[in-house]
Structure 1
Amino acid sequence: MHVLISSPALTGVFSDLEVFAAIFASAIHDVDHPGFTNQYLINSNSELAIMYNDESVLEQHHLAVAFKLLQESNCDFLTSWSRKQRQSFRKTVIEMVLATDMSKHMSLLADLKTMVEAKKVSNSSIVCLDKYNDRIQVLQSMIHLADLSNPTKPIELYRSWNERILEEYWRQGDKEKEQGKFIQIF
């Protein structure tokens, strides 16, 4: 995310609060991940799926854990911020983390394409995003891109993360088989 948000084309586009929210959202977007997909949690009637009504189950859980931690006095680094700044920060983080739900992938891409076509990006290397909705849409696309960027990393890092993800998928498949459920294809 840092590489994306530091792009010269985005210089001055985002407020300091939005940049900080983007970095924070990137850091917490998978906090306390149980190692199962949203669909598995929904299909297995898990406590998380019930708690979040089958909607972006993991993403809502990551957000809840992160914001619960911020309520701890020794973890709340936003104490000097105004109520309005805290609310704006929270809203931006929530919108960004929810965009990492893979079920939103196609609509996220379609919305970004529509926005780019509507703006008719000129030959200028500077992007003009003067409305919050445009900025959050770009931030959502950026966190989604960063979340899927594993294949772009140095090969050893890529392999390490790839092995972890595959292990999660195998473990989930074993659980599905053990429970007599349909084994999802990833």
Structure 2
Amino acid sequence: YCILFLQRRGAISYDSSDQTALYIRMLGDVRVRSQVGFEPERRSSHPYLCIDFRTLHSKRVHRLLSFQRYLHSSRLLRGIPQQMPLHILDEDYTGQARCMLDKVGNWNFDIFLFDRLTNGNSLITLTFHLLNQYGLVELFQLDMVKLWRFLVMVQEDYHSDNPYHNAVHAADVTQAMYCYMREPKLAKSLTSYDILLGLLAAATHDLDHPGVNQPFLIKTDHYLASLYRNTSVLENHHWKSAVGLLRETGLFSHMPPEDRSDMERDLGSLILATDISQQNEYLSRFRLHLDQQNLSLTSASHRHFILQMALKCADICNPCRPWELSKQWSEKVTEEFFQQGDIEKKHHLEVSPLCDRETNSVGNIQIGFMTYVAEPLFAEWARFSDTRLSQTMLGHMGLNKASWGGLQQELSSASEEADPTTAATKDGDTAGTTEGTSSKEIPQGSNVS
């Protein structure tokens, strides 16, 4: 992969020894960097230039992209409460969900259980609760019907068919964002506007995610890649989709136009910060601020930057959760990678890094992700906010990394026992003596370089 990625030019500068940048590049390739203005996405105006990723999954796809939703006759009345009631299973489940919301600030909050207790409406229920808990509905004079409709539409525009990038992930990120905003440094500094913006950005940060990554969209000449000139393609789409729903519901229509414009711009700034290809840029800037000790949370621009870093942490905090939660997320994100790889194989495309289920494993992908992406970020976050929560997250990540390492070792041992040729070669009994056998014919595992 070093040779392949060194031939490309993008947002990150690195040499072959920079394994962190290489791993980040494997997760989200950006080939062209350019400034993209705010151009609204036109429904149904962009033809599919090559592969339509929505039709490639083996299971039936029930929805179109959000900006094409009006083509569905069944969605003409979308967002109206009578069309999409939030049925709770029974009073016992409702009561348990309410009990969980009393502990929504706990780091071991089980979002999977909460989603079951709310009958798949974890994002709506959680976001509404947090907005109400902070008093933001009353403070910003939000119309309850418009707010409810907006949240219903946000949850609806996440793809439930995605193993990872779905509404439950958005709810999990929103809960993590809430935990970070409750940290002492932020709790005493953030304004109500900051909190509203942070919660909305967390809830919408992956809106309408297609379940494939940016390199896939670029190499298939997808119209989204063309629209955003191969630059933060998914993040731009999430942002514009969120703005579209805000405008459609008129959630902030009672505000002055300049305030609405500022809200949309700041929302985009937070969502665009989640682009993994810009990880090193944000991390370097964060580290420089901490080294120079010049972060001032009385400054609106510095508070906004910390919100960006908090959202970045919330977006990739899965390795920092307790093992029973972290493991589920790891398996889900890896399955989404592998599904993309299956599509690429089916259509004779080059399989993206980390997406080949035959040469990668959950453990190796997670160990690489923790080493090159999560650990550097959360180490700096702990420097900024040296609290019990930060130490808890680092502790969980260390234990989770060790657990994946142990599982990988068990798999490797089992593989060697099942393949006597490998064991013999390892002992030196047959190395270089078996004619017609090369190292390429021996299973090599899936270590991330």
Q: TM-score range by the shorter chain?
A: 0.7 to 0.9
Q: Distance in 1 between matches of 2:179 and 2:265?
A: 23
Q: Distance in 2 between matches of 1:164 and 1:118?
A: 39
* Counterpart position of 1:105: 279
Cα distance in 2 for partners of 1:39, 1:131 equals 37
Q: What is the CA–CA distance in structure 2 between the aligned matches of 1:69 and 1:85, rounded to whole Å?
A: 17
Q: What residue identity is the alignment partner of 1:110? A: S
Counterpart contact for 1:100–1:147, Cα < 8 Å: yes
2: CA distance between counterparts of 1:15 and 1:82? Answer: 19
CA contact (8 A) 2:270 2:307 kept: yes
Residues 1:119 and 2:119 aligned together: no
Cα RMSD for the two superposed structures: 1.7
Q: Deviations over 1:78-132 (max 9, x none)?
A: 1232223222221221111001110011111001111222225xxxxxx732333
Instruction: Name the TM-score, length of structure 2 as normaliser.
Output: 0.38
Q: CA deviation at 1:149?
A: 0.3
- Which residue is 2:256 aligned to? 82
Aligned length: 178
Instruction: Tell me, in whole angstroms, the C-alpha distance in 2 between the residues paired with 1:65 and 1:153.
Output: 29
Aligned partner (choices 155, 158, 173) of residue 323 of structure 2: 155
Shift of 1:151: 1.7
Q: 1:132 aligns with which of 286, 297, 300?
A: 300
Q: Deviations over 1:41-71 (max 9, x none)?
A: 1122111111111110111111111111112
Match of 1:168 in 2: 336
- Greater Cα radius of gyration, structure 1 or 2: 2
* Alpha-carbon contact 2:207-2:238 (below 8 Å) kept: yes
- Tell me, yes or no, if the aligned pair for 1:13 and 1:128 is still in contact at 8 Å: no
Candidates 239, 252, 270, aligned match of 1:63: 239
Q: Is the 8 A contact 2:205 2:235 kept in 1?
A: yes
2:347 aligned to which of 173, 176, 179: 179
Equivalent residue, structure 1, for 2:211: 35
Contact 2:270–2:311 (8 Å) recurs in 1? yes
Q: Match of 1:119, as an amino acid?
A: Q
Deviation at 1:40, TM superposition (A): 1.4
Residue range with higher mean Cα deviation, 78-87 or 13-22: 78-87
Between 160-169 and 36-45, report the one with greater CA deviation: 160-169
Counterpart residue number, 1:47: 223
- Determine whether 1:141 maps to 2:303: no
Separation (CA, whole Å) in 2 of partners of 1:136 and 1:43: 34
- 2:268 matches 1:94: yes
In the alignment, the residues of structure 2 paired with residue 118 and residue 65 of structure 1 have an alpha-carbon distance, to the nearest angstrom, of 37
For CA contacts below 8 A with separation 6 or more, give which structure has more relative contact order. 1
User: What's the counterpart of residue 201 of structure 2?
Assistant: 25
Cα-to-partner distance string for 1:110-164 (whole Å, 9 max, x where unaligned): 01111222225xxxxxx73233332222111110110000122243433333232
More helix by share: 1
Work out the CA distance in 1 between the residues paired with 2:257 and 2:193: 13
- Deviation, 1:15, is 1.9
**How big is the shift at 1:178?**
2.4
Identity fraction in percent: 30
Query: Which secondary structure does the structure 2 equivalent of 1:71 belong to?
Result: helix
Equivalent residue, structure 2, for 1:123: none
CA distance in 2: counterparts of 1:13 and 1:118, whole angstroms:
20
**Do the aligned partners of 2:296 and 2:302 also contact (CA within 8 Å) in 1?**
no
Query: Unaligned 5+ residue runs, structure 2?
Result: 1-176, 355-449
How far does residue 38 in structure 1 lie from its aligned partner after superposition? Answer: 1.1
> Using the alignment, how far apart are the partners of 2:298 and 2:193 within structure 1?
15
